[in-house]
A and B are shown apart, each in its own frame.
Chain A
């Protein structure tokens, strides 16, 4: 069964493109990763699902009901965590969470305390005095306290330290094991790889691809920048799995996908003065990935 069904959803802000003909489904019980660079249309899609903005064309259904005409009913079962969290500054955390809970009939406040303890959130503090990361925790608790059947996360991990990110992912995974569906939007591939079962890739307002994580999962891209002591022949690093290779005298940079030992062997044979290995940005991977596909 599909929890979310999006059909040719289009949104223009005046002349400016938001999303164009976006279609995809999210199945019940899966964690669906929604990835793409900034400005690709992730938030626009999510905000339309929540009826914060109205589509120019197309339609979207959640739990089989239309997002716009039956919005309030649908939103009872949705927990939403936006990328930027803002709450009423002069309220205390517990007051805000109780206000949030008051929108959902029969929620028990026990869940608030449970979640606050997991996220190490001080309920007595004023919202105004909270750091960005702590506000984010408030966001997580208010998004989960009513035990939603669908959780929508829009770039949720910004501001959380690695330990909290870990706890947060544990929490989401736990909810998911209890049958909750998750739509997880992010521009950080490693996050998506960590918990998602399927991913949809959006670029410049259009859905590029929807794919099982297992297909994308075997890809293990790394970005290398090497400074050699001696200039090297242009094709020294030209192995299978290399992309975006550029050699400039002593320095070389490339994206590599494959057995990393091959690169280590190559590097070991030479004297190097500097080496940077990093996660390539999503855009770089997609460029590489889709160039090969084409």
Chain B
């Protein structure tokens, strides 16, 4: 419990910065909603001139930019990218930051087992991601409500926003696993950016090719916004795939970290 408290104290502020950044980005994009929704027919006309593969890759084929949720869903794809970079970053940092800051000797010479350390750190990561989703959802709700002033489906809105948490867990879990598998990560953020954009490109490919197998390879495909808007629910196959991967990443992290040599300072 003391490790968990310590972790939270160390990383709460950075989480607030990232979440504020996401909300500021949202505010900026939502201010253009009125203009975009008015000109939606013109935009649709321009878009229809593009090759259909490109339109699908950009996610423009399924979302109606003239509606609140359609437009929000499009903007949300970019916000989700930022949230994913944050999730991957804290996942990678949780265990490896102690080695980079050379505080691992301090922590691991205390009477705690490796498992307890992983548990405490993983719990703090989950808490941070949950707080991030909660704060973002609340902020997004206020921003969208005030700026658009139009009614929209609140359940769908919540389902869209909750995918930040579910995708975040995937990246955090992946980050934990990477941090114990790779010998030394010198700088976390560039690695996190690279990996998240790799998955985003995979998602563009997936949207363009509409390949059912490819979709399982990228968490961005698990919570497709157009399908959430239509079905008002997630698709269970993808939720299960997400959960299985999160649990596997975490279990592997426990197993590898148990036997990991802590490099000398």
Residues of A within 8 A of B103 (CB): 86-88
B2 touches A71 (CB 8 A): no
Does A82 touch B at the CB level, under 8 Å? yes
Closest to A47 in B: B264
A43–B113 CA distance with the chains assembled, in angstroms: 21
A86 touches B111 (CB 8 A): no
Chain B residues numbered 1-44 whose CB sits less than 8 Å from any CB in chain A: 2, 6, 10
A-contact bits for B92-131, CB 8 A (1 contact / 0 none)? 0000000001111110111111001000000000000000
A51–B10 CA distance with the chains assembled, in angstroms: 26
A43 touches B110 (CB 8 A): no
B262 touches A53 (CB 8 A): yes
Q: Which of B108, B109, B259, B261 has the most CB of A within 10 A?
A: B109
Does B265 touch A at the CB level, under 8 Å? yes
Chain B residues numbered 104-162 whose CB sits less than 8 Å from any CB in chain A: 104-106, 108-113, 116
A-contact bits for B197-209, CB 8 A (1 contact / 0 none)? 0000000000000
B2 touches A99 (CB 8 A): yes
A262–B108 CA distance with the chains assembled, in angstroms: 53
CB distance from B12 to the nearest CB of A (A): 12
Q: Please pick, from A54, A71, A87, A142, the residue contacting B261 in the complex, using a CB distance under 8 A.
A: A54
How many residue pairs at the A-B interface have CB separations less than 8 Å? 61
Residues of A within 8 A of B105 (CB): 52, 80, 82, 86
Does A102 touch B at the CB level, under 8 Å? yes
Does A202 touch B at the CB level, under 8 Å? no
A87 touches B106 (CB 8 A): yes
B111 touches A51 (CB 8 A): no
CB distance from B118 to the nearest CB of A (A): 13
With A72-B113, A75-B111: A86-B101 Cβ-Cβ less than 8 Å: yes
CB distance from B8 to the nearest CB of A (A): 13
Does A100 touch B at the CB level, under 8 Å? yes
A104–B109 CA distance with the chains assembled, in angstroms: 12
A51 touches B108 (CB 8 A): yes
A47–B104 CA distance with the chains assembled, in angstroms: 12
The number of residues on chain B lying at the interface, defined by a beta carbon within 8 Å of a beta carbon of chain A, is 21
A100 touches B111 (CB 8 A): no
Closest to A43 in B: B264
Residues of B within 8 A of A103 (CB): 2, 110-112
Q: Please pick, from B106, B111, B261, the residue contacting A53 in the complex, using a CB distance under 8 A.
A: B261
Q: Please pick, from B110, B111, B259, the residue contacting A73 in the complex, using a CB distance under 8 A.
A: B111
With A99-B2, A102-B2: A75-B109 Cβ-Cβ less than 8 Å: yes
Closest to A84 in B: B265
With A75-B111, A99-B6: A142-B101 Cβ-Cβ less than 8 Å: no
B265 touches A82 (CB 8 A): yes
A90–B13 CA distance with the chains assembled, in angstroms: 13
Q: Which of B111, B259, B262, B265 has the most CB of A within 10 A?
A: B111
Q: Please pick, from B108, B261, B265, the residue contacting A86 in the complex, using a CB distance under 8 A.
A: B265
Residues of A within 8 A of B116 (CB): 72
- Which residues of chain B have a CB within 8 Å of any CB of chain A? 2, 6, 10, 101-106, 108-113, 116, 259, 261-262, 264-265
- Considering the complex of A and B, which 6 residue pairs feature the smallest CB-CB distances, nearest first? A86-B102, A102-B2, A103-B110, A75-B111, A76-B111, A53-B261
**What are 15 A-B pairs at a CB distance below 8 A?**
A13-B261, A43-B264, A50-B108, A52-B261, A53-B262, A54-B259, A75-B109, A80-B109, A86-B105, A87-B103, A87-B106, A88-B10, A99-B6, A102-B2, A103-B112
Apart from A53-B261, A102-B2, 16 more pairs, CB < 8 Å: A13-B261, A43-B264, A47-B264, A50-B109, A52-B109, A52-B262, A53-B262, A54-B261, A72-B111, A72-B116, A75-B111, A76-B111, A82-B109, A99-B2, A99-B6, A142-B106
